[in-house]
Amino acid sequence: MKQKLTVIPLVLLFVLAGCAAPAVDSLPEEVLTGNPLLDPSDLPFGVLPLDQIEAAHFLPAFEESIRQRNAEIEAIINNPAAPTFENTIVELEYSIVQLQAVASVFYNFLSQVTDDELDEAAEIIEPMISEHLDDIILNSELFARIEAVYMLKDELDLNEEDIMLLEETYRYFAENGAALPEEDKERFKEINMQLSSLTLQFAQNIMAEVDDFRLVVEDAGDLSGLPPAVIAAAAETASAEGYDNAWAFTLQGPSINPLLVYADNRNLREQAATAYIMRGRNDNEYNNEDILKEIIALRLESAQLLGHSDYASYSTQGTMAGDRHTVESFLDELWEATLPVAVAEAEVLQQQIYSDGHNFELAFWDWCYYAEKVRTENYELDSGEISSYLELSNVLEGLFMVIENLWGLRIEQVEGLPLHHGEVTTWEVTEADGSHVGIIYMDLFPRPGKQGGASMSYFREQYITPDGVFIHPIITVNCNFTRPLEGEPTLLNYEEMVTLYHEFGHALHGILSRVTYPSFSGTSVPRDFVELPAQLMENWARSPVVLKMFARHYESGEVIPDELIEKIEAAAHFNQGFLTMELMASALLDFGYHTLTDASGLDVDRFEQNIEELYQMPESIYFRHGSTHFMHIFSWGYAAGYYSYLWSGVLDADVFEAFVETGDLFDQAMAQKFRQEILEIGGSRDAMEMFVAFRGREPNIEPLLKYRGLLQ
């Protein structure tokens, strides 16, 4: 998933990832008039006229927002009154609201409906944002006022959220270059400008390569093992692209994943898997190897300018883990528990290969295929049978029932709101008494110009204005589920169903936010805490009690039988060694890159091999995200932070255990406690303090090991 990751004052939006142009002069009135990004909305719920926004609107909207903000910053600096919390920290906090509003729309468009015109605009806008934000964070006069207020913090009459804002604002300025000598500030700005362009190019290359790739099959015999719906979808794709009597597969998950799971043709699986891991590494214009090396070198240089030996030491500041050594110890502990389980699983699959009369060694393009065979034979569990009970509208109905049973919230579809794409749907969230909470946009299927994977982000974050007006959030949930054939029902596979619950966990974190300052809204928490609400919701998705609430056969309406649920439960720990290891491998790869103290001579292939050898990874397991297509760490802000999914896994398993201990998965007192102590708090309190306030103690790793079947 992807969304705002850290507790970071909005004044610093995007700066850590390296994302603002010289001071912008006032633009002509005719350029600004009628710009839907700048005009106040008079639409229901304050939503924007997304259907009217064009690529040409963004650059002038950014320029005007930056111009206005520069004027506000100058007013803060030139204020003759002594620095106070209100005239410095608070005014700085709210100065970015307009820029953030434009940026939220821009980055959602860039990830959901991009085209050449929008990509070209991004190449201008990204460096513009980077330079603007650097100009602010490196402004000595502004930092002097911030520091003056900070030094008086013990004498000020501030509430908990005020104190957090003051401390976080000071810390981020201090730790991100505000105190650097002038010559180092200039280099720091140059680095951030370069990073803003490089991280954008990295992502654009992956999207372009995914859009360009087609694996075309012309012999029907090569499709043996594939479900009829997958074959029909591939035929439809081929026909739409001008191929006669053929089947076309893409690198989008709903297309390639069934190939790896079901295709009897080993050569076809190898082609698909190789194409997937070679994204960004092929000898073409989309190769990301040099970009990756430059990003790593620049991040290291910036960290060393700030007094750190490596980027991970810099990046783990302010996280729940606190420092790189805590992360390394955590990863070592979990790896030690995972490795023997994954090795044992590999041996089971190898024996299956031999039993099938083959003598080849298990490879990474074989794992999913033989895991499915073993699952089917040992547990009599057919993934297609499960999907027949997971029709999308029923899944949504069940998800909404879970949310209502836990928190009393109701979610109902709203028609008639303007959309940025025709497939998007809109939903209103209300309290039990009918009062408005927020709006959720849902965009669930893949298409050209849309990033892969699943994510939650904002069109508008929750906060309270200086005048005391509560701003309700507008959330967007984006997935890439298997697209149904025309006239056919949308049947999710089990993993897609769990993914939907996951992203709605993030959405709840955003929609239930009750903070004052926009910097702390919803998911604006340390990145190793942000996955907690999302991964927690996955536990309800897998619960037999919940499955019985919504899982009905798409044709007969029959409720999912107990026998099938028992099979799902029996297989719950199956293949968990593999799933945990491939995720951990990418976390180790990420941390390996970002603990380098010398990036010269970096060879991507050799670096991956070193990680594999150092941790004795089985050859049949590849990284969940290989280097040249690792969008999380090279485009999305998870640099030295991909471990967060595992760290949050400890948190979510421990929190869910609290519900299990009550004997009622819908214990409303426990749900309300989680809402009040975590979901509503956003980033306005220390993450460990929030966890302890809910659980009564610090987190325990054992529930994670138990739920993943890794306890020895």
Instruction: Judge whether 693 and 677 are in contact, CB under 8 Å.
Output: yes
45 secondary structure, DSSP code: G
Statement to judge: residues 108 and 245 lie in one domain:
no
- pLDDT score recorded for residue 10: 36
CA nearest neighbour of 165 among 533, 515, 506: 515
Statement to judge: residues 566 and 685 lie in one domain:
yes
Rg (the chain; Cα; Å) = 25
Domain end residue (candidates: 277, 297, 332): 277
463's tokens: 């906060």
Statement to judge: residues 128 and 238 lie in one domain:
no
- pLDDT score recorded for residue 382: 86
CA nearest neighbour of 13 among 67, 92, 89, 111: 92
Quick check: 19 pLDDT over 80? no
Q: Are strands 474-478 and 470-471 parallel, antiparallel or unpaired?
A: unpaired
What are the tens digits of pLDDT across the range 291-325? 999 999 999 999 999 999 999 999 999 999 999 99
What are the tens digits of pLDDT across the range 186-214? 999 999 999 999 999 999 999 999 999 99
Statement to judge: residues 227 and 175 lie in one domain:
no
Report if residue 159 sits inside a domain. yes
Instruction: Judge whether 396 and 489 are in contact, CB under 8 Å.
Output: no
- pLDDT score recorded for residue 563: 96
Instruction: Judge whether 68 and 134 are in contact, CB under 8 Å.
Output: no
Amino acid at 42: D
- pLDDT score recorded for residue 13: 39
- pLDDT score recorded for residue 33: 63
Query: Which residues are CB-neighbours of 127 under 8 A, at least 6 positions away?
Result: 20, 21, 193, 196, 197
Statement to judge: residues 173 and 221 lie in one domain:
no
**Location of structure tokens 């619960």:** 543
Residue 559's domain spans which residues? 392-570+645-707
Report if residue 175 sits inside a domain. yes
In Å, the largest CA–CA distance within the chain is 84
- pLDDT score recorded for residue 452: 85
Statement to judge: residues 174 and 252 lie in one domain:
no
Report if residue 700 sits inside a domain. yes
Q: What is the CATH number of the domain that holds 79?
A: 1.10.1370.40
CA distance 18 to 130: 6
CA distance 350 to 597: 40
Instruction: Judge whether 488 and 452 are in contact, CB under 8 Å.
Output: no
Statement to judge: residues 430 and 539 lie in one domain:
yes
Identity of the highest mean pLDDT range in 6-15, 173-182, 268-277: 268-277
Q: Are strands 455-460 and 247-249 parallel, antiparallel or unpaired?
A: unpaired
Q: Which helix (H) or strand (E) holds 427?
A: strand 425-430
Residue 247 has phi, psi (to 5 degrees) of -135, 130
- pLDDT score recorded for residue 22: 29
Report if residue 349 sits inside a domain. no
What is the mean pLDDT of the segment spanning 172-179?
92
Total count of domains within the chain: 3
Statement to judge: residues 424 and 468 lie in one domain:
yes
Task: Give the residue numbers marked as catalytic.
Answer: 503
Output the CA angle 24-29-32, nearest 5 degrees: 75
Query: Which residues are CB-neighbours of 529 under 8 A, at least 6 positions away?
Result: 319, 320, 644, 648, 651, 687, 690, 691
- pLDDT score recorded for residue 711: 79
Quick check: 485 pLDDT over 90? no
Lowest mean pLDDT across 6-20, 117-131, 460-474: 6-20
Amino acid at 651: L
Give the model's confidence band at 20: pLDDT under 50 very low, under 70 low, under 90 confident, else very high: very low
What is the mean pLDDT of the segment spanning 388-409?
98
Give the model's confidence band at 707: pLDDT under 50 very low, under 70 low, under 90 confident, else very high: confident
Statement to judge: residues 111 and 157 lie in one domain:
yes
What is the mean pLDDT of the segment spanning 84-102?
97
What are the tens digits of pLDDT across the range 489-546? 999 999 999 999 999 999 999 999 999 999 999 999 999 999 999 999 999 999 999 9
- Residue 82: CB atoms within 10 Å: 11
Quick check: 566 pLDDT over 80? yes
Domain end residue (candidates: 255, 277, 299): 277
Quick check: 4 pLDDT over 90? no
Domain end residue (candidates: 277, 307, 333): 277
What is the mean pLDDT of the segment spanning 577-601?
96
Query: Which residues are CB-neighbours of 351 under 8 A, at least 6 positions away?
Result: none
Q: Are strands 247-249 and 410-414 parallel, antiparallel or unpaired?
A: unpaired
Report if residue 348 sits inside a domain. no
669's tokens: 């007192």
Quick check: 8 pLDDT over 90? no
Instruction: Judge whether 131 and 22 are in contact, CB under 8 Å.
Output: yes
Quick check: 216 pLDDT over 50? yes
Helix (H, G, I), strand (E, B) or coil at 161: helix
pTM of the model: 0.89
Q: Are strands 474-478 and 436-443 parallel, antiparallel or unpaired?
A: parallel
Statement to judge: residues 410 and 483 lie in one domain:
yes
CA distance 391 to 500: 13
CA distance 318 to 172: 9
Report if residue 359 sits inside a domain. no
Report if residue 220 sits inside a domain. yes
What are the tens digits of pLDDT across the range 330-386? 999 999 999 999 999 999 999 999 999 999 999 999 999 999 999 999 999 888 899
What are the tens digits of pLDDT across the range 430-462? 999 999 999 999 999 999 889 888 999 999 999
Q: Which helix (H) or strand (E) holds 476?
A: strand 474-478
Statement to judge: residues 483 and 551 lie in one domain:
yes
State the sign of the Cα–Cα–Cα–Cα dihedral 40, 42, 46, 51: negative
Question: Could you write out the DSSP letters of every residue in 535-579?
Answer: HHHHHHHH-HHHHHHH-B-TTT-PBPPHHHHHHHHHTTTTTHHHH
Quick check: 27 pLDDT over 70? no
Statement to judge: residues 406 and 494 lie in one domain:
yes
Report if residue 652 sits inside a domain. yes
- pLDDT score recorded for residue 266: 98
pLDDT averaged over the chain?
93
What is the mean pLDDT of the segment spanning 390-409?
98
